[in-house]
Structure 1
Amino acid sequence: MIAPTLLVGLGGTGSKIVCRVSQMVTEEQRKRIGFAVFDTDINELREIREANPFIKTIQTSTKLTVGEYLNIDTHARDEWFPVNGILNSKSLTEGAGQVRAISRLALDTAIRAGNMEPLHNAIEELYKLEGDSSEQALRVVIVSSLAGGTGSGLILPVALYLKNYLATKFQASANITRGFFILPEVFYEVIRGQSERNNLKCNAYATLRELDAFLMKGDETLPEKYEKTVKLEFPRVGSNDVEEYNVRPYDFCFLFDAQNTEGKKLNSFNQYLDHAANCIYSQSIGPMNKRSNSSEDNTIRELCAERGRNRYAGAGSAMLIYPYEDVREYIALNWTKECVSSQWLVFDRMYKEKCLANAEMRAQGMNRRDINASVD
C-alpha cells in the first residue's frame, strides 16, 4: 500500500506532467493520492479542470497588472521585486512571461487573500484516510520546469509554504518532499530562438542557485556571511505583516535533462513529459515505490557525511512493451480454434473418409487387373 502522496504541478509544464501521472493511477490508488496544480495562466487551468475534475487548481493571478499588484503589496515593491516601468502594465492572467519575480508576486497576493484553500483541501483529504495510513508519513512531490517564469518562480515559495503548513497545521515535520525539475535543454525542441533559450538558461541558473542556498540553510551548512540575507518572507492571511519560514524546502531534487549518460536524446518534447511522468509514477506510486523510499531512508548517513550536498539526483525509467496486436491476434486465433468443436468438422471428415475409401477401392481394382493380366 502506497503512502499518502500529494503531487503538485507548478506552471504549464509541471501541470501537464501531473495530469499525465493522474491518468496513470488506478481508482484504488487515487484514494491515497492528492493532485494540485498552480498556474497564472487562466486558460490552461480551465482546460485542466474540464479534463480532470479531481485535480485541485490554484490560480495565483487576478486581472490586476503588475503595477496594481505592487501598489497593494508595498512590501514586495520596497523589499524584493525588481520594479520596472515596462513590467507595470503586464497582466498576469496570461502567464508570467518568463519573469520569475512576477510569479512569486502573484503567489504572495493569493496567500494574503486566502486563495490557497484548494491546496489545503487536497492535503486534508489525505489526512482523513482511515486505517494505518496515519502511521505513514505524507510524501510530497513538486513538479516544475526550471526554465519558465511561473514554475521556476514558485519552486521555492510553494515548497516552503507546504513544509510550514504541514508542520504547523498537522505537526507533521517527518514528511518527505521531492522535487522533479525539467532543465532548459528539454525545451529546445519547441523553443528555437537563441535569445529565448538564453532566457531559459538564465532562469534555470538563478533558480538552482536560490534552491541550493535554501537547502544549505535548512541543513545548517550555509556560510555565515549569508545567514541573514538568505530568507524568504511570506504574507500573513488578511494582514500586511510578513513572516519567515525556517524549514528545508526539499529532501531530494531530481533534475531531468535532454541527454542521458550516453549523450542520447528522446524524439520529442511530449516524450520528455511522458518520461518524467513515468519516473514520478514509478518512484512515488507504482510497485517499485517501496524500494525507492527505503533507499532514500538509508541515505541519511551519506547526507551527514556530505553535509547535505548530495540531495541532487537524476532519475530514469524503463518500460517493457509487449507486441499487443500480435499477442491479441495469436490468442484470438487459438480461442477460435478451440471453439470450433469436432461437430463442425464432421462433414469434412466424412468427405475425407469417402475419398480415402474410393482411393482404396481403385487401388484394389488395379491390383486385380494386374493379377489377371499376369495369369493370362
Structure 2
Amino acid sequence: MNSPTLFVGLGGTGSRIVAKVSEMIPEEQRMNTGFVIIDTDVNDLPEIKSSHSQIHAVQTSARMTVGQYLDHNKHARDSWFPISKFLHGKVLSEGAGQIRAISRLGFESVMKQDGLSELHKAIDELYKVDAAAQDQSLRVTIVSSLAGGTGSGLILPVAMYIRHYLTTKMQQSANVCRGFFVLPEIFYDVIPEGQKNHLRANAYASLRELDAFLMKGSQSLPGEYSDSVKLEFPKTGDDGYEEYQVLPYDYCFLFDAQNADNKKLNSLEQYMDHAAQILFSMSCGPVAKRINSSEDNVIRTISAHKGRNRYVGGGASRLVYPYEDICSLIGLEWASSNISSQWLEYD
C-alpha cells in the first residue's frame, strides 16, 4: 500500500484538478487517500462537492466586503494588507478577483473562527485507517494555479499551516509536502489579452515569495532579509499572532504550457486532465513507490545546494493497449483464413 496521501486543491483550478484525481483513485486506495478543496468562490465549491462526496470542502469567505473584514482584522489592516479604498467594497464570496491579498485575508478569518475542521478531518481520517499508517510519512500535495488570486494567495499559508498542524497536533514531523503549480501560459487561450499581464504579475510575485520562504526554511536566506520574510498566523480563539518556523514545501512542480520540444496541448481541459494524470502517477499510481524512494534519496543533493534545487518539472505518458483493434485484426484474420481454406467447399 502506498503512503497515506492528502491532495489539497486551492482556488478554482486547483480544486478542479484535485476533483479529477479523486475520480482516478482505485477503490483499494481510497481509504488511504484524502481530498480537500479550498476556495473563496461560493459558486464553485458546491458544484464539485455535490458530485464528489469523498472531497472535503472549505470555503474561506463569507458575504462580507473587504472593508468589513478589515474592521474585524486590524492586524491585517495595519501590517500587511495593501491600502486601497477601491478594494473595500469587494465581496469575498464572489472570489478573490485575482488579488492575492484578499485570499489570504479570508483564510486568516477562517483560522480565527476555527473554520478549518474539514481540513483537520481529512488529515485525521488518514491516520485512523490503519495503525501502520503511523509508520509511514504522510505525502501532502497542494495544487494551485499561480495566475489567479485565491490559489496564489494561499500556497504559502496553507502549506505552512498544514506543516504546523502535523507537527504540533498530530506529532507527525516526518512528512513530505509537494507543491504543484500551474503557470499563467496555460490560461492564455481562455482569457482576454488585457488580463494576461495580471496573471504574469501574480505568478512572478508568488514565485518570489515562495522562493524567499523556501530559502528561509532551508536556512539559506541572506541575513538582511531575516526580519522581513515572515508570515504570522492568528491564534485560534485568541487575538494574538504567531510565526510558524517551518519549510513550506520539499518540492515544487512547475506546470507550464510547453514541453521540452516547444509543443502544446490543444485546450485548457486537456491541460487539466494531464495535470491530474501526473499527480495520480507520482502519488498513487504503480510507480509512486519508486518516485517516493527517489525523493527520499536526493536529500544529499538538496543539502549540497543549500536547498536551492527544490524546483522540478513533471510529466506523464500512457501506454494504451489497442484492445478493439486487436480484436478486429483477429476477427479479420480468422475470416480470411476460413474463406481461403473452405471457399471452394462451400461453393
- Over residues 268-299 of structure 1, what are the superposed CA-to-partner deviations in whole Å (9 max), with x where a residue is unaligned? 11111111111111101101011111111111
1:97 aligns with 2:97: yes
Shift of 1:152: 0.2
1:181-330 alignment runs, 5 A limit: 181-193=181-193, 195-329=194-328
1:140-219 alignment runs, 5 A limit: 140-193=140-193, 195-219=194-218
Shift of 1:133: 2.0
- Over residues 45-85 of structure 1, what are the superposed CA-to-partner deviations in whole Å (9 max), with x where a residue is unaligned? 01011110110000000000000000000000000000211
Pairwise CA RMSD = 1.7
Shift of 1:329: 4.6
The residue number in structure 1 matching 2:338 is none
Cα distance between partner residues in 2 of 1:119 and 1:69: 22
The residue number in structure 2 matching 1:343 is none
Cα distance between partner residues in 1 of 2:327 and 2:25: 24
The residue number in structure 2 matching 1:78 is 78
Q: Secondary structure at the match of 2:94?
A: coil
**TM-score when normalising by structure 2:** 0.94
Shift of 1:330: 5.5
Q: Secondary structure at the match of 2:8?
A: strand
Cα distance between partner residues in 2 of 1:168 and 1:303: 25
Q: Secondary structure at the match of 1:173?
A: coil
1:112-131 alignment runs, 5 A limit: 112-131=112-131
Cα distance between partner residues in 1 of 2:119 and 2:50: 18
Q: Secondary structure at the match of 2:85?
A: coil
**TM-score when normalising by structure 1:** 0.87
- Over residues 175-204 of structure 1, what are the superposed CA-to-partner deviations in whole Å (9 max), with x where a residue is unaligned? 0000000001011121131x2100000000
Cα distance between partner residues in 2 of 1:68 and 1:327: 65
Matched residue type, 2:251: F
Cα distance between partner residues in 2 of 1:328 and 1:235: 62
Cα distance between partner residues in 1 of 2:313 and 2:242: 34
Q: Secondary structure at the match of 2:178?
A: strand
Cα distance between partner residues in 1 of 2:278 and 2:40: 26
Matched residue type, 2:61: S
Shift of 1:327: 3.7
Matched residue type, 2:73: D
Number of residue pairs matched?
Answer: 339
Shift of 1:320: 1.2
The residue number in structure 2 matching 1:368 is none
Instruction: Give runs of ≥4 in structure 1 deviating > 6 Å.
Output: none
Q: Secondary structure at the match of 2:325?
A: helix
- Over residues 229-253 of structure 1, what are the superposed CA-to-partner deviations in whole Å (9 max), with x where a residue is unaligned? 1000011112221111000000000
Q: Secondary structure at the match of 1:38?
A: strand
Cα distance between partner residues in 2 of 1:97 and 1:325: 47
- Over residues 138-192 of structure 1, what are the superposed CA-to-partner deviations in whole Å (9 max), with x where a residue is unaligned? 0100000000000000000000000000000111111000000000101112113
Distance 1:280 1:68, change over 3 A: same
Matched residue type, 1:203: N
1:7 aligns with 2:7: yes
Matched residue type, 1:312: Y
Matched residue type, 1:226: Y
The residue number in structure 2 matching 1:22 is 22
Q: Is the radius of gyration larger for structure 1 or structure 2? A: 1
The residue number in structure 2 matching 1:133 is 133
Cα distance between partner residues in 1 of 2:106 and 2:235: 14
- Over residues 252-271 of structure 1, what are the superposed CA-to-partner deviations in whole Å (9 max), with x where a residue is unaligned? 00000111111111111111
Ranges in structure 1 where 5+ consecutive residues have no aligned partner = 338-348, 356-376
Identity of aligned residues (%): 57
Cα distance between partner residues in 2 of 1:132 and 1:245: 29
Shift of 1:322: 2.7
Shift of 1:131: 4.3
Cα distance between partner residues in 1 of 2:178 and 2:24: 19
